[in-house]
Amino acid sequence: MAGAELHIDRIAKRFGAGQVLRDVSLEIAAGEFVTLLGPSGCGKSTLLRIIAGLERADRGSVRAGGRQLDPLAPKDRGLAFVFQSYALYPHLSVFDNIAAPLVMRELSSLERLPFVGRRLAGSAARHRSIDDRVRRTAKILQLEALLDRRPAALSGGQRQRVALGRALVREPQIFLMDEPLANLDAGLRIHTRGEIARLHREVGATTLFVTHDQSEATALSDRVAVMFGGEVRQFASPVELYRNPVDLDVARFLTQPF
C-alpha cells in the first residue's frame, strides 16, 4: 500500500469573528510522515477536519493523489482518521470492531443492488475478503491473540491499537491522526508512539499527525509544520527546526519543557 501525495492550498477558515486558519498551504510527499505542531487553539484540528471533509473551508483546496478532494464526501476521500477519543463498540469483539468499517461499507453497497439473489451470491466471497483483511491488520498491530476479546478486557494501549486497526483496515492512502496518544499515560504514550512509527514504516501511507508535544513531533516526523494563530510559521525537518527556527515563537515552543 503506497501513500498518495497531499496538497493543501491556501486553506482559510473563520468561525464567527475568529480567523482560525489563514491561508495554510502544505505540500506533502507520498509516504511522508508530517506533524502539525502548535499550541492548543492554533487550528490544527480544524485543518485536519477540513482535509477529512468533516468541516468546510471558506477558501482554498485540498488535493490527494491527483484528485480534488473538496467536492467529495468524507467516505470517498481515501483517507482514514484516528481521533484522540476513540470509541470502540463495547459489545463487539476486537475482530468485529476492526471489521466494522468494512462491514458497513458492504451493507451500504448491498442496498444499492436491485436483486436479493445477487446479494446472497456474492456474500461468501465478501466475508472471506473481510476476514483476510482483518487478520492482516491484526498482524501488523500485534493484535492477533486478542481478536476474541471485548474492549473492556483490553489495556488502554491495546484499545488504542484497535482504534488504529479500524482505520488501517480500510487500507487508506492517507492517515490523519489527531492527538491519538493524548489519553494515554506517559509510558504507554512512548510505547504507542513506537507502534505508530513501525506502522508507518510497514504500511507506507502518507501520514499527517497532530500534536502539541514537540518531543512526539521530532521523534516521529520527516517534517514538522509549526503552527501559531492559524498560520504555518515554519515547515521543515526536526533538525532544521532546532538549528534554524524562523522566529522567537518557534524557538520558544520547541524548547519549552513539557
Residues at the contact surface with ligand ADP, assessed by CB under 6 A: 15, 18, 20, 38, 40-46
Site string for Mg ion, 71-90 (x = CB under 5 A): --------------------
Residue (85 or 123) nearer to Mg ion, CB: 85
Least separation in angstroms between residue 16's CB and Mg ion is 18
Q: Which does 46 bind (CB under 5 to 8 A by kind): ligand ADP, Mg ion, none?
A: ligand ADP
Least separation in angstroms between residue 230's CB and ligand ADP is 7
According to the binding rule CB under 5 A, does residue 211 interact with Mg ion? no
Least separation in angstroms between residue 50's CB and ligand ADP is 9
Q: Which does 41 bind (CB under 5 to 8 A by kind): ligand ADP, Mg ion, none?
A: ligand ADP
Residue (44 or 159) nearer to Mg ion, CB: 44
Render the chain in DSSP notation, one character per residue: -----EEEEEEEEEETTEEEEEEEEEEE-TT-EEEEE--TTSSHHHHHHHHHTSS--SEEEEEETTEE-TTS-GGGSSEEEE-SS----TTS-HHHHHHHHHHHHHHHHHTT-S-HHHHHHHHHHHHHHHHHHHHHHHHHTT-GGGTT--GGGS-HHHHHHHHHHHHHTT--SEEEEESTTTTS-HHHHHHHHHHHHHHHHHH--EEEEEES-HHHHHHH-SEEEEEETTEEEEEE-HHHHHH--SSHHHHHHHHS--
Residue (43 or 101) nearer to ligand ADP, CB: 43
Q: Which does 43 bind (CB under 5 to 8 A by kind): ligand ADP, Mg ion, none?
A: ligand ADP
